[in-house]
Structure 1
Amino acid sequence: SKLDHIPSVGYLSWPLSYITSFKYVSNAAQILQECYAKYKGAPFKVPTLNRWIVVIGRQHLEDVKKSTDDEPSLIEAANDMVQSQSAKVDYLIGPEINSNPYHISVARIHLTRNLGLYYPDIKDEVHTAFEELLDLKDNAWKSVPAVETVREIVCRASNRVFVGLPLCWDHDWIDLNSRFAVDVATDANILNMFPKFLVPLVSRKLPKSAAGMARAMKHLDPIVKERLRCAEECGDEWNDKPVSRSSLLIDEKQESLTRQLAPRALTVNFASIHVLLLRHLHRRSPCQRLLTSMSET
């Protein structure tokens, strides 16, 4: 391969290189330090379970800076990473999320254009969530776990739009959507420890993503069945039709089974909750520092 001329760590042969890969996964810092001392800053490569990582010294950074756009490619690296992560999403959540992401267009077109319609519900839910979770009395100071509190507030406000009342108040539903992103990331990290040809087999043995999907189906099944029944009975004359995100997905008439809609509901929550959470908690502002300080007390 193109990397054969670069010194390697550990074994080079195909089966034995996995021994080095597992050592690197468990003790990367020590291996990198030993290689850096051995090769005196020269480039070297270390095997992971599905690719090689080339490590360069400080003296080679200038060469990278001088390289042209058609040599090292950030776009190709990003594409490679996205394809790898997309494959894991296919196994952990379902291939339809990538192959037919119609839920994205529903968000862009309907939710964006009708934010004014949802604003009163979102405002009401945020206000209610703050009162219940903070439970402040007599304007007294109180320590709260910042990340968990903000996550639940965002989850409740988002789901007031996505699934509506009363499910957005359900503690198990909130816990599921708050933890699902972490569970999927944990399972994805486990898959990263295995070569590509073993990923389909290993993914079937990972419990967290599958358990989360089963919990979501349990909550959503009554809602989906009821709305399909009402849609069939009322047709276009359904005047008090819900305008939640789940109803909009059903209205697209691309999927009608709970097992098809549940992954999309979890994926939408996955994105909305954690993007907003990271945006607010990682701002370098007095408010952010106060929340961080409060969470550490």
Structure 2
Amino acid sequence: MSSHNVKLPQAFDFGAADGQIGWWPVLACSVLALISLQMLTQKHAIKLNVPTAGYSSIFEPNWLLRMRFLKQSPTIIEEGYQKFKDSIFRVCRNDGDRFIVPNKFVDELRYLPEETLSATMAHAVNFFGEYTSINMIHKGDMSNTQASIHKLTPMLGRLSETMKDELDFALQQEIPKCEGEWVKVQIYDIMLRLISRISGRIFVGLQACRNETWLAASRDFTEHFFTIAMILRLVPRFLHPLIVRLLPQYWRLYNNIETARQILSPIIRERRAQEAAGAPGYVKQEDLLQIMMDSPNAVDNSPDMLAHRQLFLSLAAIHTTSLVATNIMYDLCHHPEFIPPLRSEIMNVLTECGGWEKSAAAKLHTLDSCMKESLRRNPPIQLVFNRQVQQPIKLSSGIVLPAGIQITMPARSLMYDPANVHGDPTEFDPFRFMRRHDEPAQHGGVPKRLFAQTDRTNLNFGHGKHACPGRFFADTEIKLILSHLLLDYDFKYPDGTTRPKTICIDEVLFPDPSARLLMRKRKTS
């Protein structure tokens, strides 16, 4: 097993070196933004007469508020929520305003057609699709990809053994030898590599998932994607065509896309050729790539398009899931008294099920509650349900949302609101959601998996037709990994350290990926 050293993502590392983007381009971009952004946004902004959150005084200029949002967004969003939570309010980001809509409107908004309220357009605008390649979601029908992921969900039971097999292989590759001694590790790096391997097995199959070049491309694509987006947020739009081509991450991102095509396109063509020829012994693979290949849409299922879409699936699945799993480990090391009851439940369930099989994940109620509680306290994204208004929308309150604005909802604030959470929302209580497992199970007795559920106050996975279709896969994957790590290893913070700080970049929150834990193989009787 090789040693890895995870640094702060380049988008957020203002002291980067070795050919990476450092502090000086960011500073230069910021100065340009300060000079021109306020004038441009005021000139072109779509007017909606609602209060603005975050001003420190009546004399604070708009450009300074926008710059403060970069590092102070939790305070600004929470202040707005406390003052205006039953009405619409505005937060000012460097690249434009976002209008935070009360969650009481979620049910009347979530099923509106894309022609009226668009999630895909919001993503393209938020992440500068013409430069990050996310505009490809407008080529063909993105609903085919979402439908493919939904088809994966009922397969998770029979794919449990496959996921367990890949985890066993991944543990051999990525876990350091630590029998009888404490070893310092970057747990985010371990989670990232375990999750990328397991996700790869289910997404692209065994033929590609152990290809180190594919694994690197699927991980690096996300970093390059967000680096480009976060830097462009600081730059006036008229400079984007120039600035983006000066970023090494821009060229690396398109190199990742070409790498994905070189690896996956031949596999796709080979599978199709074998199927068309009726090759003896040919059996369709049970993976997401095959499900997407079977799409009837000629644009969506071309080899190059499928390879490109797989990178975006990795973007959604690998890094976000790794951040969630890392936060859970940080919370448990900060509250080690909760680890023994989790281990007890895991051992009981695995004994009852005869190992990791299809029903095991749904029976881990305590772990499920713990995961949900950690996500409640540490959402990767503060603003969710992001939508671009395509046509004017009149809400039940009478207010009209004009075409062209972006609306969103405050996931973190909702889950810290005492009205929405039983008990003290500022405390970490891994048993907080346990009582809900005692309620009647859904769908004729199927055990609840509360971590992956959405509702009008729990929006971390979205809500409605655009709710994250891969959340049940993430639920199973995290439970599989945590179960084996907690049973087989001890974890703690190094002496003199505690839970690492959360890093804030605009609405994005993530744990310090460079933080260390101590890890030791547990003695087995």
Q: 1:25-64 counterparts in 2 under 5 A?
A: 41-47=57-63, 53=66
| Aligned equivalent of 1:220 | 264
User: Cα deviations across residues 149-180 of structure 1 (Å, max 9, x unaligned)?
Assistant: 21111100111111111321111211111222
CA distance in 2, matches of 1:118, 1:46: 52
Q: The residue matched to 2:290 in structure 1 has which SS?
A: helix
| Aligned equivalent of 2:15 | none
| Aligned equivalent of 2:161 | 120
2:330 paired with 1:275: no
Tell me: higher relative CO, structure 1 or 2? Use CA pairs within 8 A at least 6 residues apart.
Answer: 2
Counterpart residue type for residue 126 of structure 1: L
CA distance in 2, matches of 1:248, 1:210: 25
2:284 paired with 1:261: no
CA distance in 1, matches of 2:119, 2:276: 44
TM-score, normalisation: structure 2: 0.43
CA distance in 2, matches of 1:21, 1:114: 48
Q: The residue matched to 1:214 in structure 2 has which SS?
A: helix
Q: 1:1-297 counterparts in 2 under 5 A?
A: 21-22=33-34, 41-47=57-63, 53=66, 65-67=82-84, 69-72=86-89, 76-77=99-100, 85-87=123-125, 88-97=128-137, 100-101=141-142, 102-108=144-150, 110-136=151-177, 138-199=179-240, 203=244, 206-234=250-278, 240-254=283-297, 255-283=300-328, 284-286=331-333, 290=491, 293=494, 295=516
Q: Are residues 291 and 180 of structure 1, via their aligned partners in 2, closer, same or farther at CA, if it must alter by over 3 Å? A: farther
Q: The residue matched to 1:121 in structure 2 has which SS?
A: helix
More helix by share: 1
Q: Are residues 42 and 82 of structure 1, via their aligned partners in 2, closer, same or farther at CA, if it must alter by over 3 Å? A: farther
Q: The residue matched to 2:66 in structure 1 has which SS?
A: strand
CA distance in 2, matches of 1:247, 1:158: 14
Given that 1:146 and 1:291 are in contact with CA atoms closer than 8 Å, whether structure 2 keeps it comes out as: no
CA distance in 2, matches of 1:65, 1:150: 35
Q: Which runs of 5+ in 1 are unaligned?
A: 1-17, 26-38
Q: Are residues 64 and 86 of structure 1, via their aligned partners in 2, closer, same or farther at CA, if it must alter by over 3 Å? A: same
RMSD across aligned C-alpha pairs, in angstroms? 3.9
Given that 1:47 and 1:53 are in contact with CA atoms closer than 8 Å, whether structure 2 keeps it comes out as: yes
Q: The residue matched to 1:116 in structure 2 has which SS?
A: coil
CA distance in 2, matches of 1:132, 1:151: 13
User: Cα deviations across residues 80-102 of structure 1 (Å, max 9, x unaligned)?
Assistant: 99856422135312423256322
Given that 2:209 and 2:215 are in contact with CA atoms closer than 8 Å, whether structure 1 keeps it comes out as: yes
Q: The residue matched to 2:61 in structure 1 has which SS?
A: strand
Q: CA deviation at 1:123?
A: 0.3
TM-score, normalisation: structure 1: 0.71
Counterpart residue type for residue 53 of structure 1: R
Counterpart residue type for residue 21 of structure 1: A
Q: CA deviation at 1:249?
A: 0.7
Q: Among the aligned pairs, what percent are the same residue?
A: 20
User: Cα deviations across residues 225-257 of structure 1 (Å, max 9, x unaligned)?
Assistant: 11221232239x985111211111110132233
Q: Are residues 119 and 127 of structure 1, via their aligned partners in 2, closer, same or farther at CA, if it must alter by over 3 Å? A: same
More strand by share: 2
Q: CA deviation at 1:112?
A: 0.6
CA distance in 1, matches of 2:80, 2:327: 33
Counterpart residue type for residue 310 of structure 2: A
Counterpart residue type for residue 333 of structure 2: P
Larger Rg: 1
**Matched residues, number:** 259
Given that 1:93 and 1:263 are in contact with CA atoms closer than 8 Å, whether structure 2 keeps it comes out as: no
CA distance in 1, matches of 2:159, 2:86: 45
Given that 2:294 and 2:301 are in contact with CA atoms closer than 8 Å, whether structure 1 keeps it comes out as: no
Q: Which runs of 5+ in 2 are unaligned?
A: 1-29, 38-54, 70-74, 92-97, 102-116, 337-490, 495-514, 519-525
CA distance in 2, matches of 1:194, 1:80: 25
CA distance in 1, matches of 2:317, 2:258: 21
| Aligned equivalent of 2:448 | none
Counterpart residue type for residue 99 of structure 2: E
Given that 1:45 and 1:55 are in contact with CA atoms closer than 8 Å, whether structure 2 keeps it comes out as: no
